[in-house]
Amino acid sequence: MTRSAARLVTTLPFTPVITRPLPGTVTPFPNETVDSYISRLASANRTTPHILRTPSHWLRCPLNDLELLELLSGQPRTSLVWALPELRCYEPGIALPPRTPDVITRFACRRCVWQAGGTGTVHVHAPTHYDLVCLRHGIWHSEGVKAIGQQIDLAPVPEVIRAQMLINRLERRHGQRFIAECYRVCERHWAELDRRGLVRNGAVALLKRLPLTDINDLRPLGPHHRFRRVTRFPQLARFTALVASLALRHAANTLGEKAGPTILAEFERTFQLDYRPRSITRPWMETALIHVVVTMADVVRMLRLSETDTSTPSRSI
C-alpha cells in the first residue's frame, strides 16, 4: 500500500456495526409497550433487554428505538409502528402519535396473548384507568393484578362484564374526559361508603360465587385486594352512571331549587343500604353525595366552556 493510500484509509470515518439481526423474532402485540416487546424479544433469543438496548459498553448506538427494533426483530416498520404506540413519533406518516402520552399500563389479557400466538407476560398501554375487563374473553386483567397468572375469570359473575359494558356506553355517550373524571370521583366516594359498611351486601354475594384462588390464609381480604375490587365494580359502575346523570341534570338546572332531596332520593332508589345510617353517618352521606354531584356538574360546565373556547371537534357531553 502506498503512503497516499494509507493516509486516505486512516482519514475515513469509522462506523462500526454493533447491532445485528437476531436469529429469532417475536410478533408485537397491539398497544404493547416498548419495554415489554424488548423483554419478550430478549427472552426468545436467550439474552437480556439491557444487552439489546446497549450492545456495546463503549460505543453509543446511533439508532433510535424504531430503527433498533426493526433491525433486531426483522419485523416490518409498519407493523412495529401500528403495534407499539411509543414508536409513532418516529413515523407519524404511518400512524399518528397519541394526543396524550399513555401513562397507564397493564397486563394484556392472557387469553388474547395466547390467541395471538404470543407467550410470556405482555404489558400494554391502557386507554383509561377504568378499562378493567376483557370483554372478548371475560377476564379481569387490571386492578389488583400483580402477575398475569392472577387474572380472574369472570364467568361465575357476569355482572362484572356487564358493568364494563355500561362504563363503555357512558364513555361513548358523554366523552372520555367527563367519564374519566366522574369515575375517579365516584371511586373515592364509593370506597368510603364501603369502608363504613353501607353497601357491602351486594359485593359479598358476588364474592361467594368466585373461586378464591391463591389465597393462603383465612384473614379477611383487604379493600384493595383484586377480588374485592372485582366484586365492587358493578355497584361502582351503576353509581358512576347515576352521578353522571344527576350532574348533567344539575348543570342544566333541571333538578329544581332543592337539588339535595332529589339527589338523595335517586340514590336510595338505586341502591339498597345494608343498614339505616344514624348519628353522624346520615348527615355525612347526604353532604358527600350532594358534593359529588355538584363537583361533577362543575366539571360539565368547565368542559363545555373549554369546547366553546377551543372550537375543536369533540364528543359533546
pLDDT value at residue 244: 94
Planar angle of CA 181, 163, 130, nearest 5 degrees = 35
Cβ 45 vs Cβ 140: under 8 Å: no
pLDDT value at residue 5: 46
pLDDT value at residue 130: 93
Task: Tell me if residue 134 falls in helix, strand or coil.
Answer: strand
pLDDT value at residue 30: 92
Alpha helix locations (H) across the chain? 3-11, 34-44, 49-53, 65-73, 77-83, 110-115, 158-174, 176-195, 201-209, 226-251, 259-270, 281-310
- The CA distance from 316 to 307, in Å, is 9
**Which parts of the chain have pLDDT scores under 70?**
1-18, 56-60, 100-102, 213-224, 255-257, 309-317
- CB proximity list for 237: less than 8 A, separation 6 or greater: 163, 164, 166, 167
The model carries a pTM of 0.84
In our burial notation (b when 16+ CB lie closer than 10 A, e otherwise), range 261-291 reads ebbeebbeeebebeeebeeebeeebbeebbe
Cβ 141 vs Cβ 214: under 8 Å: no
Cβ 190 vs Cβ 237: under 8 Å: no
pLDDT value at residue 152: 92
pLDDT value at residue 218: 45
- The CA distance from 122 to 30, in Å, is 10
Cβ 120 vs Cβ 108: under 8 Å: no
